[in-house]
Structure 1
């Protein structure tokens, strides 16, 4: 459910260039990192070997996978309400740009700041929206990542 006042498929162009919102903080703990490693098969020590990472990592401990942090964008954007209430569905349509800027250390909290960049109307009541996502890390000056994401809204 969208919490953005007067935000709908009909009015969505009015929101281009505007920040749609900022999600709540969510924790990226070792349990989540381990589950992602198991799911994807990416079990590199810097993510899953807590003792070795404490000894050898330049970050002083384990860090989240870049793709784990990227995967958090969608649910955090949904929390903000980027899918208007009058849309029957919102589907991932792809990525235009992604830059991983700061590693997310195990135990850190992150949130997503979303700005609507563009709207493209398609046939059949479909709308492609492009958003800028900035995954911020609590207590850090630079974000974990910035990404331009695309979603298809279905009326």
Structure 2
């Protein structure tokens, strides 16, 4: 983890621009893709029908849901220590500017890089924290597959 020594709520704004680095890679195999489809009801064949995707799909294999890749962000934030340890709570506030740059083949490893880009005090004891999250999938190299700005409400 790449957490600054003085990373507290009182010093949060001073760390805008900080790169927390990369979270551990997560395997997006067919089992995980199928589980995600079951949870969300998004069973589009390009994600879950291996044979059809191989013979009729544009990529020759199934691909992970873009929203599955997006859903990796909260765990990456906690792994990387994005929220100061003295915060009493963190609430998901939403996403801005989500872009899916490339398909993620089933069986790929994906890792997230997180940068703190903005901190706005909403009211005393509550800060809106904006992070840039770049997902990279491993093929021959780590290529960017998604960029999204996440928003979280951090409370003292």
- Distance, in Å, in 2 between the alignment partners of 1:3 and 1:154 is 22
Question: How much does 1:73 deviate?
Answer: 1.2
Q: Deviations over 1:12-32 (max 9, x none)?
A: 112111212210111001111
Secondary structure of the equivalent of 2:46? helix
In the alignment, is the contact (CA less than 8 A) between 1:110 and 1:138 conserved in 2? yes
Q: How much is the aligned-residue C-alpha RMSD, in angstroms?
A: 1.4
Kindly indicate whether residue 81 of structure 2 is the aligned counterpart of residue 86 of structure 1: no
In structure 2, the residue matched to 1:7 is: 7
Kindly indicate whether residue 121 of structure 2 is the aligned counterpart of residue 121 of structure 1: yes
How many equivalent residue pairs?
154
> If the length of structure 2 is used for normalisation, what is the TM-score?
0.93
> 5+ unaligned residues in a row in structure 2: which ranges?
none
Runs (4+) off by over 4 Å: none
- Distance, in Å, in 2 between the alignment partners of 1:99 and 1:47 is 18
In the alignment, is the contact (CA less than 8 A) between 2:2 and 2:20 conserved in 1? no
Question: How much does 1:127 deviate?
Answer: 0.7
In structure 1, the residue matched to 2:145 is: 144
Question: How much does 1:142 deviate?
Answer: 3.7
- Distance, in Å, in 1 between the alignment partners of 2:87 and 2:7 is 11
In the alignment, is the contact (CA less than 8 A) between 1:77 and 1:112 conserved in 2? no
- Distance, in Å, in 1 between the alignment partners of 2:96 and 2:30 is 29
- Distance, in Å, in 2 between the alignment partners of 1:91 and 1:21 is 22
Between structures 1 and 2, the one with greater strand share: 2
In the alignment, is the contact (CA less than 8 A) between 1:27 and 1:109 conserved in 2? yes
- Distance, in Å, in 2 between the alignment partners of 1:3 and 1:153 is 19
Question: How much does 1:141 deviate?
Answer: 5.6
